[in-house]
Structure 1
Amino acid sequence: MRRGVRVVWPLLLVLGFIIIGSDAGTKWQKQEEKKPEKLICYECNSLYDARCADPFDPYTLGHVDCNLKDPPEHLNSTIKPALCRKIVQKVQGKTRVIRGCGYIPDKRHGNECVKRTGTHEVHVTYCACTKSYCNIGHPGTYPSISVTVAALLVIVIKFLHIE
């Protein structure tokens, strides 16, 4: 029994640092959101970089300040970015995830997503949001790291029969 306790303490210490580190990152991101002139989004395409696909780890890919980018050629050059977006395309069984800046304002509130289905096995989910770093995914899609770590901790304690 004592040997199990000796093994768990270092594990608890490491898990504590992970939880604290994840909260620190969230606090930093919230500070960035206070600046209304900046809109920072994750930008990637899973066709070219598999790390963009779901499940998405935001710490493995960079982000972009949308205000520093030129708008697409088909839009007016004076238009400002309005949102971050995430698009999931499923075409004939192949899935592609695209994250980036959006320039046309969206009338939906928060992170509401729109799902569309077409012919020939085409499914598209479009999510838009207006806060920095918000195009990670749809709310409720992924458990927070704290919940994941807590579940892992319960499993380890049960496995080692610690009371």
Structure 2
Amino acid sequence: MCYECNSHNDSRCADEMLPETLKRDCSDHSKGVQYTMCRKIVQNIDFEVNGNQPDSRVIRGCGFDESSYKGRCYQRSGFGGRQEVCSCLEDYCNGAPLGRVPSLLLGTAASVALARALY
């Protein structure tokens, strides 16, 4: 059970408090896919690329991923844009304002503190 939306099509998807109407049962549209988590993606296009104007959007939905990123966040960037992808394993967990970012920030802060202690 996840929130499913795209703020490009429905501005409510970027809200902190999501309406009940955006809740979905992932098994309703599985078509042979075993959805195992919820996902939230924040995409940013920082400058015009291939005719696409600067923009940002939030995409929430069902997902599957058996890699080491399951239940975590990661970032990607390139070609004038960047995105943060967070996945989580509880029902409707992709409704959180910043996904699992606090745990990502804690890990980064711990790494910086360790690096400073070693040098």
Please state which band the TM-score falls in when normalised by the shorter chain: 0.5 to 0.7
Decide whether the 8 Å contact of 2:88 with 2:100 is kept in 1: no
Residue identity (%): 37
Q: How far, CA to CA, are the matches of 2:83 and 2:34 in structure 1?
A: 25
The structure that is helix-richer by fraction is 1
Structure 1 residue aligned with 2:28: 68
Give the number of the structure whose residues are more often strand, by fraction.
2
For 1:85 and 1:140, the matched residues in 2 are separated by 13
Residue 126 (structure 1) aligned with residue 89 (structure 2): no
Matched residue count: 93
* Cα shift at 1:109: 5.5
Over the residues paired in the alignment, what is the CA RMSD in angstroms?
2.0
**TM-score, structure 2 as length reference:** 0.67
Distance 1:69 1:103 in 2: 13
Q: Secondary structure at the match of 2:65?
A: coil
Report whether the alignment pairs 1:43 with 2:1.
no
Match of 1:87 in 2: 41
Show the counterpart of 2:19.
Answer: 59
1:113 partner amino acid: C
Distance 1:66 1:87, change over 3 A: same
**Structure 2: which 5+ runs fail to align?**
48-53, 103-119
In 2: Cα distance, 1:140 partner to 1:125 partner: 9
**Which structure has the bigger radius of gyration?**
1
> Contact 1:51–1:60 at 8 Å: present in 2 too?
no
1:132-151 counterparts in 2 under 5 A? 132-137=91-96, 138-139=99-100
Deviation at 1:107, TM superposition (A): 2.1
Aligned counterparts of 1:61 and 1:79: Cα–Cα separation in 2: 23
Query: After TM superposition, what 4+ stretches of structure 1 lie above 6 angstroms from structure 2?
Result: none
The offset of 1:108, in angstroms, is 2.9
| Alignment deviations for residues 60-115 of structure 1 (CA, whole Å, 9 cap, x no partner) | 642001012134xxxxxx231111001111113310110000133342363x2111
Higher relative contact order (CA 8 A, sep 6+): 2
8 Å CA contact 2:87, 2:100 repeated in 1: no
